[in-house]
Amino acid sequence: MTKTFTNIVCETSFFSFNKEEWNRLVPEDSLFQEWEFLSTLESSGCIGRSGDWDIRILSYREAGVLLGVLPFYKRKDSYGEYIFDFQWADAFHRAGIPYYPKYSSAVPFTPVTGSRVLVSPDITEEEKLIEIQKSLLDALVSKGEEESVSSVHVLFCKEEELKSGKLSGFVPRITHQYHWFNKDFQSFEDYLATLVKDRRKTIKQERKRIAALPIRIETLVGEAILKEHADIFYTFYQDTHSRKWGQAYLNHRFFQTIFEVMKHRIHLVLASDESGKPIGGSFNFYRGDYLFGRYWGATSHIPNLHFECCYYQLIEFAIRNKMKRVEAGAQGEHKFLRGYEAVPMYSMHYIYNKSGRQAIYHYLEKEILMEEANIKEYNHHSPIKSLRNGDGNGN
């Protein structure tokens, strides 16, 4: 029997919402939930009914005022999510139980933490906040049951959202990433001073070798970003995906549009040769205190160029602009060795099948303990002296 949820409606397009009313709900640290980013994914055909990310959006209104939204997607596979459940899917398959379709609340192709249930900043009472969050999550679970999906996954959510999730029957999961935190540094040298000697030496050598090459490296934001940069960085993006991951998730139209509608959020690091020809760079986003590294590419292999464009230039920009944090996405060894700290990533999961639910929830209980121990151990061996010595938690 289908449940009825007062004040909640399910839409199938971001264009069903007004940009201003949607963005009013997006916190500063949840940039990739902004209407421009999500609607560009839709308008470019990267997500939507014609593809694997079938759009669903639950909206909560009172007296016609939008107070909450929960975007999610009906999925036929798990690619582009970065919280891996392929083993779960395989176990379901071996047991003769369909795992797909499933629901995922995430930013497509974007392994970045942010609010997954967006609630109006006018809601200041915790009780009312949790009520709206829980209502939307309850509606999500009910919708999944109605459409006979195997499971619901809320990925890269904020830790504080776990409380409402548990009230709706979700079980938490912890993974980890590596983030850089600004400890009130006044210069790049201040940051280097927090690292152990051998790492300081390595970073200085890497930067010195790049500086000795006939390469120009520039940081571009705002009006310095031109239309042709969309084509340049799409070429870089294609090159990286063709060499590492095969099929690219984003298309040329996405790049062309996002460089128009989100120019005020884009941060580029562009490397050019002596003739002025672009040879590599990183494509990033920023808002307020947060800088997010997203895509990297180069037309030829130049040792240390990746580190300069993806780490050191971003750290310098963050220090110069007194930002709190730099996030550089999935994977981590190179980040860790350059002073990025291991931090927990949260997700929460709801499994409908009883036997599957018992097995996965039992696994998650053990995995959480293992991940918490791993994060502690990683930071114990951090090149950051205070973490290695156990003098602080780094953030």
Residue 339 located in a structural domain = no
Residue 393 located in a structural domain = no
In a shared domain, residues 356 and 257: no
**pLDDT recorded at residue 330:** 79
In a shared domain, residues 279 and 362: no
CATH at residue 89: 3.40.630.30
Residue 1 located in a structural domain = no
Residue 352: CA atoms inside 13 Å, Cβ hemisphere, count?
Answer: 20
Count CB neighbours of 217 within 10 A: 18
Residue 395 located in a structural domain = no
Least-confidence region, from 40-54, 92-106, 358-372, 378-392: 378-392
- Nearest-angstrom CA–CA distance, 155 and 106: 5
Residue 360 located in a structural domain = yes
- The b/e string for 120-137 (b: 16+ C-beta within 10 A; e otherwise) is beebeeeeebbbbbbbbb
In a shared domain, residues 167 and 196: no
In a shared domain, residues 157 and 229: no
Output the pTM of the full model.
0.95
Torsion of the alpha carbons at 90, 378, 349 and 69, rounded to the nearest 10 = -130
Confidence band for 1, pLDDT divided at 50, 70 and 90 = very low
In a shared domain, residues 161 and 189: no
pLDDT greater than 80 at residue 244: no
- Nearest-angstrom CA–CA distance, 165 and 297: 38
Contacts for 282 with CB less than 8 Å, ≥ 6 apart: 268, 269, 293, 294, 295, 296, 309, 310, 313, 314
Residue 306 DSSP code? H
Q: Give 21-34 pLDDT, tens digit per residue.
A: 999 999 999 999 99
In a shared domain, residues 159 and 271: no
- Nearest-angstrom CA–CA distance, 325 and 284: 13
Structure tokens at 6: 């007062």
Confidence band for 248, pLDDT divided at 50, 70 and 90 = confident
What amino acid occupies position 146?
E
Q: Give 152-194 pLDDT, tens digit per residue.
A: 999 999 999 999 999 999 999 999 999 999 999 999 999 999 9
- Nearest-angstrom CA–CA distance, 130 and 134: 6
Residue 335 located in a structural domain = no
Question: Do the beta carbons of residue 31 and residue 37 sit within 8 Å?
Answer: yes
Into how many domains does the chain fold?
2
**pLDDT recorded at residue 223:** 94
Residue 338 located in a structural domain = no
In a shared domain, residues 145 and 31: yes
Give the angle subtended at the CA of 61 by the CAs of 161 and 262, to the nearest 5°.
70
In a shared domain, residues 79 and 20: yes
Structure tokens at 276: 């002025």
In a shared domain, residues 142 and 240: no
Q: Give 2-54 pLDDT, tens digit per residue.
A: 577 889 999 999 999 999 999 999 999 999 999 999 999 999 999 997 678 99
Structure tokens at 293: 């590294």
In a shared domain, residues 21 and 108: yes
**pLDDT recorded at residue 332:** 76
In a shared domain, residues 145 and 113: yes
As a whole number, the mean pLDDT across the chain is 94
In a shared domain, residues 316 and 193: yes
Domain with 62 in it: 8-176+344-380
Residue 303 located in a structural domain = yes
